[in-house]
């Protein structure tokens, strides 16, 4: 379900990273439905092509620019931003959603794995944001949503690397929000619990393995609402934070967890 007006983001250019994944694809579709032109990115060409086609069919008046990039690479980040702005004009909405899961218990954690996760979830996100923020500042027009996690607010068993990267992303969100609001730019984060995507299903199964019970039992025991979140529900929250309806929401970390933070 979407509660948003068709023209809520008219005239905006939104860049959605991780658009080949569960949350990113739903977000790109919703922002297009709300009138934004969208740049979609990820590494998997065929998924990008499929999503671009889907948006074009559903929203023929919307411009979609699709660009495959590895966000861990400086050259790819620069080429992505240049190509997107050449195609659709200055980026005014940024959804930093690309992310990787991994790591493990601290005594098994290897440096390369720790750096892989931190590099994509934190460092590359900051560096991509820097490239886009320059123009947002000049134009005094921008809103940014970083897709963090409940793991950015509390620790999880086996989450030493992933949780650390998401805590870092939330620290970045809060600090940048203070700087950016001086230029009229809002920066916020969303913190989903388990979401029904490939990554989310892996997380539930990891917890189930650790607790030696079934995935269904984990969900029942840890989420008061009794179910995991849909990617669309995360997309709805991101979209809300990007609209003028959220004009005075600055530096927040919005939890979407079915109440699991209360347990
Ligand atoms: N699912 C959950 O339960 C959950 C909970 C809390 C937070 N989150 C966060 O939500 C975000 C989206 O996750 P999801 O559940 O939608 O997972 P997903 O379906 O696995 O999507 C992950 C996305 O990240 C992209 N990505 C990974 N490495 C990349 C790289 N080097 N360069 C460019 N893109 C890269 C992937 O694209 P390619 O593979 O095409 O490159 C994919 O589009 C992540 O930041 C995740 O940490 C998820």
Q: What is the pLDDT of residue 263?
A: 77
Q: What is the pTM of this model?
A: 0.98
CB 150 within 8 A of CB 193: yes
Q: Give mean pLDDT, residues 80-98.
A: 98
Q: Give mean pLDDT, residues 24-40.
A: 98
Atom number in ligand 1 closest to CA 23: 16
CB within 6 Å of ligand 1 — which residues? 18, 20-24, 42-44, 47, 70-72, 97-100, 120, 147, 149, 192, 194-195, 197-200, 203
Q: Give mean pLDDT, residues 152-157.
A: 94
User: What residue ranges define each of the domains in the chain, with the CATH number in brackets?
Assistant: 13-193+230-255 (3.40.50.720), 194-228 (no CATH)
| Ligand 1 center–CA 177 separation, angstroms | 23
Per the prediction, the chain carries an average pLDDT of 96
Nearest to 70 by CA among 62, 82, 80: 80
| Ligand 1 center–CA 116 separation, angstroms | 14
Nearest to 164 by CA among 99, 203, 114, 95: 114
pLDDT (tens digit, 9 = 90+) per residue, 253-262?
A: 999 999 998 8
Q: What is the pLDDT of residue 34?
A: 97
d(C-alpha 232, C-alpha 152), whole Å: 21
Per-residue pLDDT at 61 exceeds 80? yes
Percent of the chain with pLDDT over 90: 97
Q: What is the pLDDT of residue 2?
A: 64
Per-residue pLDDT at 1 exceeds 60? no
The CA radius of gyration of the chain, in Å to the nearest whole number, is 18
pLDDT (tens digit, 9 = 90+) per residue, 105-149?
A: 999 999 999 999 999 999 999 999 999 999 999 999 999 999 999
CB 24 within 8 A of CB 42: yes
Atom number in ligand 1 closest to CA 44: 40
| Ligand 1 center–CA 234 separation, angstroms | 13
Q: How confident is the model at residue 79 (pLDDT cuts 50, 70, 90)?
A: very high
């Amino acid at each position: 379900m979407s509660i948003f007006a068709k023209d809520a983001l008219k005239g905006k250019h939104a860049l959605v990273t991780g658009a080949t994944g569960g949350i990113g694809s739903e977000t790109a579709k919703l922002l297009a439905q709300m009138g934004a032109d969208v740049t979609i990115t990820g590494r998997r060409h065929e998924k990008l092509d499929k999503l671009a086609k889907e948006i074009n069919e559903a929203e023929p008046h919307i411009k979609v620019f699709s660009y495959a990039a590895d966000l861990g690479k400086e050259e790819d980040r620069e080429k992505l931003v240049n190509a997107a702005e050449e195609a659709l004009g200055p980026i005014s909405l940024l959804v930093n959603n690309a992310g990787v899961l991994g790591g493990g218990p601290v005594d098994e954690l290897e440096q390369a794995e720790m750096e892989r996760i931190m590099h994509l979830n934190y460092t590359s996100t900051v560096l991509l944001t820097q490239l886009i923020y320059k123009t947002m500042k000049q134009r005094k027009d921008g809103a940014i949503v970083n897709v963090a996690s409940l793991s950015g607010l509390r620790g999880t068993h086996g989450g030493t690397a992933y949780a650390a990267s998401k805590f870092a992303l939330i620290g970045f969100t809060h600090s940048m929000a203070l700087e950016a609001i001086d230029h009229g730019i809002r920066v916020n984060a969303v913190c989903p619990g388990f979401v029904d995507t490939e990554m989310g299903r892996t997380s539930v199964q990891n917890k189930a393995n650790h607790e030696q019970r079934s995935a269904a039992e984990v969900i029942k025991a840890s989420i008061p609402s009794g179910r995991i979140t849909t990617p669309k529900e995360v997309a709805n929250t991101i979209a809300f934070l990007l609209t003028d309806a959220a004009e005075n929401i600055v530096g927040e970390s919005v939890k979407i967890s079915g109440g699991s933070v209360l347990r």
